[in-house]
């Protein structure tokens, strides 16, 4: 009897090689641009104490209320959680290692996040983020720099049609005034609220604005706006004006969206999202903002900070239709027949790799015809053929598969140069 198969957990995906190429392409481009802006890599654990997220993200948020993968450590009973986002862990690490005592830090990290959501296109239970944080920076220049950096990344990836939404959610006293106004407004319309929102009215009324329920949208549209609570020359208004001025100077179009609040409690002042209309309801590909209170909330010294996360799966969906993708095809596929040919095939391949080329050596034998079929299927530009004749004469045959060139027979040490020359001509 066949053993039953085991499948991946719902909402958690395998990334197979054809698609992993796009992941690597994105990661490579992001890493490069983060480094160019002075962001350095930092890595934090996937598992953290549950209390970090309850305190950091806020206990009346969707994430903490419904979406965390929490479990008891089987030895000491401590409650642990698979991280639903990266900022809280990074701030914990920064406090623990006094990272910002001497100077502010620009850091980034990447990896899987876990949220128990209803899986659909662009929304999964294990998903991945590229996460960027500027720790210890107060001014609007850093908020704007991060937004500009993202727009450069979209450019590098060849992604058009990304739009930027920004808002300010003020400072704590302004948020409190706004909260009172919201409670009064939604209280008057209590009959029109859905169940979630009615509950939120008592715990976290700001979050009602983030409701995705279509029947709630018209009542949300009429709700008091936070910007109306900002004094004419309040610090948070000045900050927001500063962010907008730098974006305009950089030529970046934006829409001020007074309804933008974001799903985590720790934000203040600037919040932003990059949105596309090509992914249906899951159109937000990156989001972030300022969180000046989080260090203190987690027991650290007051430290201003700002960051964002890119949703990798959503980016990959975009790259699949429309973005420029990395060429993952080998420059050469090495076909070799006969025992004597294998060593020459391998040493020639190593020479080519030393010269920076991508080379696949046929594995598992097969006739010349079968190997040539594999060479073609690999997408390689050249087939490099090594048979007994070649071993005797210490030459290899180079047959063009996808380049306009003649077949030639060459000594192994000149093959890289020959391939390189055709690449240059093609560029």
Instruction: Provide the binding-site residues for Mg ion, judged by CB under 5 A.
Output: 263
Q: How far apart are CA 53 and CA 206, in angstroms?
A: 19
**Please, which residue, 310 or 385, has the CB nearer to ligand ATP?**
310
Is the distance from CB of 18 to CB of 322 less than 8 angstroms? no
How are beta strands 40-41 and 105-114 bridged, if at all? Answer: parallel
Shortest Å distance, C-beta 181 to ligand ATP? 23
**Please, which residue, 137 or 308, has the CB nearer to ligand ATP?**
308
Nearest to 124 by CA among 67, 62, 198, 54: 67
Q: DSSP assignment, residue 64?
A: I
Helices (H), 158-211: 172-188, 195-203
Shortest Å distance, C-beta 192 to ligand ATP? 22
How many Cα atoms are found within 13 Å in the side-chain-facing hemisphere of 263? 17
- The yes or no reply on residue 115 touching ligand ATP (CB under 6 A) is yes
360 binds, among ligand ATP, Mg ion, none (CB under 5 to 8 A by kind): none
- The yes or no reply on residue 313 touching ligand ATP (CB under 6 A) is yes
Stretch that binds ligand ATP, among 1-9, 117-125, 221-229, 348-356 (CB under 6 A): 117-125
DSSP-assigned beta bridge partners for residue 134: 106, 306
Among 31, 123, 259, 353, binds ligand ATP (CB under 6 A): 123
Residues in 278-297 at the binding interface with ligand ATP, rule: CB under 6 A: 282, 284-287
**Please, which residue, 205 or 307, has the CB nearer to ligand ATP?**
307
- The yes or no reply on residue 13 touching ligand ATP (CB under 6 A) is no
Residues in contact with 99: Cβ distance below 8 Å, sequence separation at least 6, in sequence order: 93, 105, 135
Shortest Å distance, C-beta 211 to ligand ATP? 11
Query: What Rg do the C-alpha atoms of the chain give, in angstroms?
Result: 27
Nearest to 81 by CA among 107, 51, 108: 51
**Please, which residue, 70 or 378, has the CB nearer to ligand ATP?**
70
Shortest Å distance, C-beta 200 to Mg ion? 15
The helix (run of H) or strand (run of E) holding residue 396 is strand 396-400
DSSP assignments along 281-332, one per residue: T--EEEEEEE-TTHHHHTTS----EEEEEEEHHHHHHHHHTTS-----S-SE
Q: Give the contact letters, 348-377, x = binds to ligand ATP (CB under 6 A), - = no.
A: ------------------------------
Nearest to 259 by CA among 315, 220, 312, 218: 220
323 binds, among Mg ion, ligand ATP, none (CB under 5 to 8 A by kind): none
Is the distance from CB of 56 to CB of 91 less than 8 angstroms? yes
Shortest Å distance, C-beta 127 to ligand ATP? 3
Shortest Å distance, C-beta 217 to Mg ion? 17
**Please, which residue, 165 or 198, has the CB nearer to ligand ATP?**
165
Shortest Å distance, C-beta 127 to Mg ion? 10
**Please, which residue, 293 or 330, has the CB nearer to ligand ATP?**
293
By Cβ distance, which residue is nearest to Mg ion?
Answer: 263
Instruction: Report the interface residues with ligand ATP, using CB under 6 A.
Output: 85, 115, 117, 122-124, 127, 129, 262-263, 282, 284-287, 309, 311, 313-314
């Amino acid at each position: 009897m066949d053993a039953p198969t085991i499948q991946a957990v719902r909402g958690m995906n395998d990334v197979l090689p054809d698609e992993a190429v796009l992941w690597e392409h994105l990661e490579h481009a992001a890493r490069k641009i983060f480094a160019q802006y002075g962001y350095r890599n930092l890595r934090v654990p996937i598992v953290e104490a549950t209390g970090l997220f309850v305190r950091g993200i806020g206990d009346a948020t969707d994430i903490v209320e419904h979406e965390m993968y929490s479990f008891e450590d089987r030895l000491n009973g401590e409650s642990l959680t698979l991280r639903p986002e990266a900022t809280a862990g990074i701030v914990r690490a920064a406090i623990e290692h006094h990272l910002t005592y001497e100077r502010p830090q620009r850091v980034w990290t990447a990896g899987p996040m876990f949220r128990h959501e209803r899986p659909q296109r662009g929304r999964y239970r294990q998903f991945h983020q590229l996460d960027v944080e500027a720790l210890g920076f107060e001014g609007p220049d850093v908020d704007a720099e991060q937004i500009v950096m993202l727009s450069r990344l979209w450019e590098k990836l060849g992604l058009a049609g990304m739009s930027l939404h920004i808002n300010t959610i003020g400072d704590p006293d302004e948020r409190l005034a706004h909260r009172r106004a919201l409670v009064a407004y939604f209280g008057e319309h209590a009959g029109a609220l859905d169940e979630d929102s009615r509950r939120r009215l008592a715990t976290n009324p700001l979050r009602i604005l983030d409701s995705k329920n279509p029947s709630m949208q018209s009542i949300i549209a009429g709700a008091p706006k936070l910007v109306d609570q900002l004094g004419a020359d309040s610090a948070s208004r000045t900050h927001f004006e500063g962010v907008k001025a730098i974006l305009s100077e950089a030529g970046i179009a934006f829409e001020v969206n007074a309804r933008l609040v974001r799903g985590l409690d720790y934000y203040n002042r600037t919040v932003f999202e990059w949105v596309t209309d090509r992914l249906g309801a899951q159109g937000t590909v990156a989001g972030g903002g300022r969180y000046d209170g989080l260090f203190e909330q987690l027991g650290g010294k007051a430290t201003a900070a700002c960051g964002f996360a890119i949703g990798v799966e959503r980016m990959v969906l975009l790259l699949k239709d429309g973005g420029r993708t990395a060429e993952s095809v080998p420059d050469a596929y090495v076909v070799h027949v006969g025992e004597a040919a294998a060593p020459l095939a391998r040493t020639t391949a190593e020479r080519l790799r030393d010269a920076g080329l991508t080379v696949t050596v046929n594995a598992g034998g097969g006739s010349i015809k079968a190997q040539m079929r594999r060479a073609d299927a690999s997408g390689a530009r050249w087939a490099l053929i090594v048979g007994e004749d070649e071993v005797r004469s210490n030459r290899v045959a180079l047959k063009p598969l996808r380049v306009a060139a003649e077949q030639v027979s060459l000594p192994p040490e000149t093959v890289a140069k020959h391939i390189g020359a055709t690449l240059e001509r093609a560029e």
